[in-house]
């Protein structure tokens, strides 16, 4: 039993660390790949616009971005609440030990995310300041813009950590520590939670991609649609969206597939120890449609980043 608990703990910690390493590594790779974008890279390209036309189009772009920000913030808060309710389904003794750890992880992740945004930092001087930063619409300037993004990034990071921790706990630690008398029913309930947490994570990351696309389209306000500057920013937006779409889809797969695999593994071991046939051994998949939906959820961030390519 003690070995099983340690194995479950190692799995939980390993999953969270793996997700953090993937995110941090992806951010560092993004920065290195785009290190040649210097503050004066597009000097002279972004100034050929009419002030009044830019201001009018910026209102529409700004409202689109605000709508996406409101949506992603509500999704992030909802994901945190949902993840906490999944953790609270465990025994009170375990749940109240996990929650303080989760709060610490949420605080640290939110703090780091609020202070660093590689996409914004990389593009602020060459693109954002000459376009968005060159005028104020409704009191929104670069400082306010940056503060809103910091809050949004913090909420997204908090929600991501909460979903990953909930997945890990429901897949391993709770099952190991539970009473073995309800093993089959518990595995079914945990599999249902796995699916719900997967879709919660997919909705969160898709909404992040939507927000990112809206943010990257804002600088095109007031630029002639077929101009060199407009096309340049649009191409950068597509590239950034596709990159993070791939990273987010990998994050979902990294979180979901090991959790489902480990859940079945632990359930089988517990059942074998009790001399019973595991309910999960018969398979908890109810058909190809279920697998299709799971696969679609995992690739949905990348698919959402592809939409601007087909709609262009």
Q: Determine contact, residues 152/110, Cβ cutoff 8 Å.
A: no
- Other C-beta atoms lying within 10 Å of the C-beta of residue 206: 21
Which residue, among 174, 169, 170, has the nearest Cα to 191 in the 3D structure?
170
Count: domains in the chain: 1
Q: What gap in Å lies between CA 133 and CA 39, rounded to an integer?
A: 14
- pLDDT tens, per residue, the chain with 312 residues: 566 788 888 888 898 889 888 888 888 888 887 777 777 777 666 665 555 455 666 677 777 888 899 999 999 999 999 999 999 988 888 888 899 999 999 999 999 888 877 766 677 777 777 777 766 666 677 778 888 888 999 999 999 999 999 999 988 887 787 654 444 457 888 888 999 999 999 999 999 998 888 888 777 776 777 778 778 888 888 888 899 999 999 999 999 999 988 888 887 777 666 655 554 444 444 556 677 888 889 999 999 988 766 544
Q: Which two tokens stand for residue 207?
A: 């909404």
Tokens 């992040």 belong to 208
- pTM value? 0.83
**Helical (H) or strand (E) element with 53:** helix 51-87
* Rounded-to-integer distance, Cα 173 and Cα 184, Å: 16
Structure tokens at 121: 């930092």
Q: Which long-range contacts (CB under 8 A, 24 or more apart) does 266-269 make?
A: 266/4, 266/8, 266/171, 266/172, 266/175, 266/176, 267/175, 267/183, 267/187, 269/4
Distance, in Å, from the CA atom of 299 to the CA atom of 202, rounded to the nearest integer, reads 8
7: its two tokens: 């194995």
Tokens representing 100?
A: 């303080």
Task: Show the domain range for 126.
Answer: 2-34+42-311
Q: What is the DSSP letter of 48?
A: -
Nearest 10 degrees: CA dihedral of 254, 305, 243, 80? -50
């Amino acid at each position: 039993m003690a070995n099983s608990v340690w194995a479950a703990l190692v799995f939980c910690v390993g999953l969270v660390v793996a997700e953090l390493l993937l995110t941090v590594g992806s951010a560092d790779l993004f920065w290195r790949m785009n290190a040649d974008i210097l503050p004066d890279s597009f000097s002279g390209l972004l100034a050929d616009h009419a002030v009044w036309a830019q201001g009018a189009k910026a209102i529409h772009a700004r409202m689109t971005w605000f709508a996406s920000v409101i949506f992603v913030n509500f999704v992030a808060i909802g994901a945190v609440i949902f993840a906490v309710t999944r953790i609270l389904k465990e025994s009170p003794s375990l749940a109240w030990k996990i929650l303080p750890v989760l709060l610490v992880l949420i605080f640290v992740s939110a703090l780091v995310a609020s202070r660093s945004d590689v996409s914004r930092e990389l593009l602020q001087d060459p693109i954002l300041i000459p376009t968005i930063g060159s005028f104020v619409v409704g009191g929104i300037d670069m400082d306010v813009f940056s503060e809103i993004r910091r809050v949004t990034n913090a909420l997204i990071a908090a929600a991501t950590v909460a979903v990953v921790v909930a997945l890990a706990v429901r897949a391993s630690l709770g099952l190991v520590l539970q009473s073995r008398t309800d093993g089959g029913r518990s595995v079914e309930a945990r599999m249902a939670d796995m699916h719900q947490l997967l879709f919660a994570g997919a909705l969160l990351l898709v909404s992040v991609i939507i927000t990112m696309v809206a943010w990257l389209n804002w600088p095109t306000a007031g630029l002639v649609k077929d101009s060199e500057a407009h096309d340049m920013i649009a191409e950068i937006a597509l590239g950034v969206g596709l990159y993070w779409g791939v990273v987010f889809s990998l994050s979902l797969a990294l979180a979901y597939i090991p959790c489902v695999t480990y859940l079945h593994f632990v359930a089988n071991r517990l059942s074998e120890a009790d001399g019973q046939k595991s309910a999960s051994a018969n398979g908890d998949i109810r058909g190809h449609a279920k697998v299709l939906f799971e696969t679609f959820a995992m690739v949905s961030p990348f698919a959402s980043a592809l939409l601007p390519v087909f709609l262009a």
